[in-house]
Structure 1
C-alpha cells in the first residue's frame, strides 16, 4: 500500500526521488545523450565565441572554455549513465567542464544563457537535420515517379472517380498528378524548414539579459536562417513543432491515398501493377501466392508517421503559453519517429516503383470497356451536330442505357441506334457516320484531343513532365545548398573556436 512512510522509504526525502529518477529523469537523460549531446556542445562553442567577441569574457577564459569543450566533444557521451547527482545532461556536461577548467572558468560560460533557450535551440537544430533527411528522400521518390511518367506517356488507362471507371487517361497523367501533390509537399517542407531554422539563443530564461550579447552572431555561427526575434516567443512558441507535424501528416496522407490505389492495382482482379520478386512474399501454405508484402508493411509505417505527428497536437493543445516540459525531451522524439517512418516508407516506395512492371495491354483493354468515352461522344454531338450539351448528354445517356440493356459493347454502336434514339428525344434523327462513331468512342482519340493545359494528351503530359524535371533539379540544388551551408557553418564554428584557442 502506498503510504507516506512507504514512499519516503522507497524514494527518499531529497530530490530526486527514485520513482522520479527511474520514470522521468533517466528516460529524459537517455533521450538527451542520444540526440542533444553534440548540439549542446556546438551551442556552447558558439556562445563562448560570441561572449569573447563581445568582450564579456577574456581571451584566456574563452581559450580555456573552448579547449574544454573540444575535449568533451571527443568523449563518447552516449555511453554516459544517468547520475542522480546531476539533474540532466546539461549539468553533466557543466560538471565535466568544471573538472577540466575549474568552476570559476566553467561558470563564465553560463553568462547570458539558460537551459530554456539552449533546449529550444537543440530541438530546432536536430529537427532541421531530420527534416532535411526526409526532404532528400522525398526528392528521390519524386524522381522515380517522373521516370515512370516518362515511360508511360502513351499508356492509356481508365481514370477513376468515386472508385468507378470515369474517362480514359494515361498512366503518365496519373503519375504526374501524384508527383505534383508531392512537389507541393516539398514546398511545404521548405517553408516549414524556414520556420524551424530560427535561433532562440539569447532569449535566456524568457526576457533576454542585461549583458551586451550578440544574438545574430550565435545564430550565424550555428547556421540558422535568422532569429526568433521576440524572446518570449522564443521560449513559449511551439508552432514550429505543430507546423512540422502538419506538413508530415499532409504528405503521409498523400502517400496513403497513393498506396491504396497501388495495392488495388496489384490485386489479381486489377492485374495492372506487377511487383518484382524482391518485394513480394509467398504464402506459407499457398505456393501460388505473390503477396505485395513490401507495400503492406509500408502502409502501417505511413499510418504510424501520421499517428506520431498527431501526438504533437495531442500533447500540446490546451497547454500554457510559456516554458513548459510538455514541449521538451519527451515530446520531440515523436516527431523524430514520425520522420523515421516517413523515410522508411519513401525508401520502400522508391525501390518498388523503380522496378515496377505495368500491364499496359490490360489498361488499354479496360479503357475500351464500360463506355468511359461517352463524354467525347456527347462532345461530338455538340461540336459537329450543333446540339446543346444538355440534349447531347441526354441522348448519350440513353444510348449507353440501351447498349447495356441489350448487352452490346461500344464497338456495336451503329448510326441506326443513334438515329433512332435521337429521333425519340429530339423529334428528328441525328446522322452520324460509322467512322465518326468509331473515332468518338476510341480511348486513344479521347486522350489525344484533351490537350488543354494540364490535360491527359501525350503532348501535354510531355510538356508537364519536362517542366517537372527542371523543377525537381532546382529543388535538389536548393536542398543541397542548404545542407552544404550547414556543413560549412559547422566547420566555420570549429575554425572560429580554434582561432581563439591558438591566438597568442
Structure 2
C-alpha cells in the first residue's frame, strides 16, 4: 500500500528520490549524454575564450579551463550511467573539470552563464544540424524527381480531379507539381534554420548579467548568425520548436499524399509504376505476389513523423512563457524522431523512384479513355464556331451522355452526332469535319496546345524543368554555405582555444 512511510522507505528522504531518479533524471541524463555532451563542451570553450578576451578571467585561468575541457572532450560519454551524486550531465562534467584543474579555477567558467542559456544553446546547436540533414535528403529526392520528369516530358497520362480521370496531362507535369511543393518545403527549412541559428548565450538565467560579456563573440565562435536579442525571449521563446514541427508536418503531409498516389499507381489495376526487385517482397504463400513493402513501410514512417511533430504542440500549448522544463530534454527528442522518420522516408523514396519503370504505353491508352478530352471539343466549338462556352459545354456534355448511353467511345463521335445534338439544343446544326473532331479528341494534341504558363505542353514543361533545376542548384549552394559556415566556425574556435592554451 502506498503510504508515506512506504514511499520514504523506497525513495529515501534526500535528493534524488529513487522514483524521481528512475522515471525522470536517469532518462534525461541518457538524452543529455547522447545529444548534448559535445555541444556543451563547445559552448564552454567559447564561453571561456570570451571571458578571457573580456578580461573577466586571467590568461592562466583560461588556459587551465580550456586544457581541462579538451581532455573532457576526448572522454567517451556513451557508457556513462546516471550518478545520483550529480543532478545532471552539467554538474557531472563540472565535477570532472574540478578534478582536472581544481574547484576554484573550474568554478570561474560559470561566471555570467546559467544552465538556462546553456541548455537552449545546446538544443539549437543540435537541431540546426538535424535540419541540415533533412535539407540534404530533401534535395536528393528533388533531384530524383526532376530526373524522372525529364524522362517523361512527353509521357501522356490522365490527370485526376475528385479521384476521377479529368483531362490529359503528362507525367512530367504531375511530377513537377509535387516537386514544387518540396521546393517550398526547402524554403521553409531555410527560414527555420535562420530562426534556430540565433544564439541565446548571455541571457544567463533570464536577465543577462552584470559582467561585461560579449554575446556576439560566443555567437560567432559557435557558428550562429546572430542573437536572440531579448534575454527573456532567449530563455522563454520556444517558437523555433513549433516552427520546426510545423515545417516537418507540412512536408510529411504532402509526402503522405504523394505516397497515396504512388501506391495506387503500383497496383495491378493502375499498373503505372513497376518497382525494382530490391524494393518488393514476395508472399509467403502466393508466388506471384510483388508487394511494394518498401513503400508500405515508408507510409507509417511518414505518419510517425507527423505524430512526433504534433506532439510538440500538444506538450507546449498552455504552458507559461518562461523557463519551463516542458521545452527541455523530454520534448526535444520528439523533433529528433520526427526528423529521423522524415529522412528515412526521403531516402527510401529516392531509391525507389530512381529505379522504377513507367508504363508509358498504358498511360497513353488511358488518356484516350473516359472522354477526358471533352474540354478541348467544347473549346473548339467556342474558338472555331463562335459559340458561348455555356452552349458548347451543354452540347459537349450531351454528346458524352449520348455516347455513354449507347456504349460508344470518344473515337466513335461523328460529325452527324454533333450536328444532330447541336440542332436539338441550338435549333441549328454545328458542322465539324472528321479531322477537326479527331484533333479535338486527341490527348496528345490536348497537351501540346496547352502552352500557357504552367501548362503541360512539352515546351512549357521543359522551361519549368530548367528553372527548377536552377533553383535546386541554388538551394544546394545555400545548404553548402550553411555547412561550410559551421565547419569554419568550429575550426576558428579550435584555433582560438589552441592560441590561448599556447
Which residue in the other structure is 2:355 paired with? 355
Matched, 1:23 2:23: yes
Q: Distance between the aligned counterparts of 2:47 and 2:200, measured in 1?
A: 12
Q: CA deviation at 1:103?
A: 0.6
SS at match of 2:199: coil
The correspondence of residues 84-233 of structure 1 with structure 2, limited to 5 A, is 84-233=84-233
Q: Distance between the aligned counterparts of 2:443 and 2:81, measured in 1?
A: 68
Task: Return 5+ residue gaps in structure 1 as ranges.
Answer: none
SS at match of 2:227: coil
Which residue in the other structure is 1:50 paired with? 50
Deviations 1:154-196 (A, max 9, x none): 0000000000000000000000000000000000000011001
Which residue in the other structure is 1:243 paired with? 243
Q: Distance between the aligned counterparts of 1:127 and 1:261, measured in 2?
A: 32
Deviations 1:304-362 (A, max 9, x none): 00000000000000000000000000100000000000000000000000001000011
Which residue in the other structure is 1:431 paired with? 431
Q: CA deviation at 1:78?
A: 1.6
Q: CA deviation at 1:387?
A: 0.2
Which residue in the other structure is 1:487 paired with? 487
Which residue in the other structure is 1:394 paired with? 394
SS at match of 2:482: helix
Q: Distance between the aligned counterparts of 2:299 and 2:284, measured in 1?
A: 22
Q: CA deviation at 1:81?
A: 1.4
Q: Distance between the aligned counterparts of 1:262 and 1:133, measured in 2?
A: 25
Which residue in the other structure is 1:70 paired with? 70
Which residue in the other structure is 1:443 paired with? 443
Q: Distance between the aligned counterparts of 1:191 and 1:27, measured in 2?
A: 32
Q: Distance between the aligned counterparts of 2:358 and 2:213, measured in 1?
A: 62
Q: CA deviation at 1:481?
A: 1.1
Deviations 1:38-85 (A, max 9, x none): 000000000000000000000000000000000000000122111101
Which residue in the other structure is 1:472 paired with? 472
Q: Give the TM-score taking structure 1 as reference length.
A: 0.99
Q: Distance between the aligned counterparts of 1:471 and 1:380, measured in 2?
A: 37
The correspondence of residues 296-315 of structure 1 with structure 2, limited to 5 A, is 296-315=296-315
Matched, 1:403 2:420: no
Which residue in the other structure is 1:269 paired with? 269
The correspondence of residues 245-394 of structure 1 with structure 2, limited to 5 A, is 245-394=245-394
SS at match of 1:109: helix
Q: CA deviation at 1:488?
A: 1.0
Q: Across the two proteins, how many residue pairs are aligned to each other?
A: 502
Q: Give the TM-score taking structure 2 as reference length.
A: 1.00
SS at match of 1:322: coil
Q: Distance between the aligned counterparts of 1:484 and 1:299, measured in 2?
A: 34
Q: Distance between the aligned counterparts of 1:27 and 1:281, measured in 2?
A: 38
Quote the RMSD (CA, aligned, Å): 0.4
Which residue in the other structure is 1:11 paired with? 11
Matched, 1:458 2:458: yes
Which residue in the other structure is 1:415 paired with? 415
SS at match of 2:56: coil
Task: Return 5+ residue gaps in structure 2 as ranges.
Answer: none
Q: Distance between the aligned counterparts of 1:411 and 1:75, measured in 2?
A: 77
Q: Distance between the aligned counterparts of 1:362 and 1:479, measured in 2?
A: 40
Q: Which runs of 4+ in 1 moved over 6 A?
A: none
SS at match of 2:110: coil
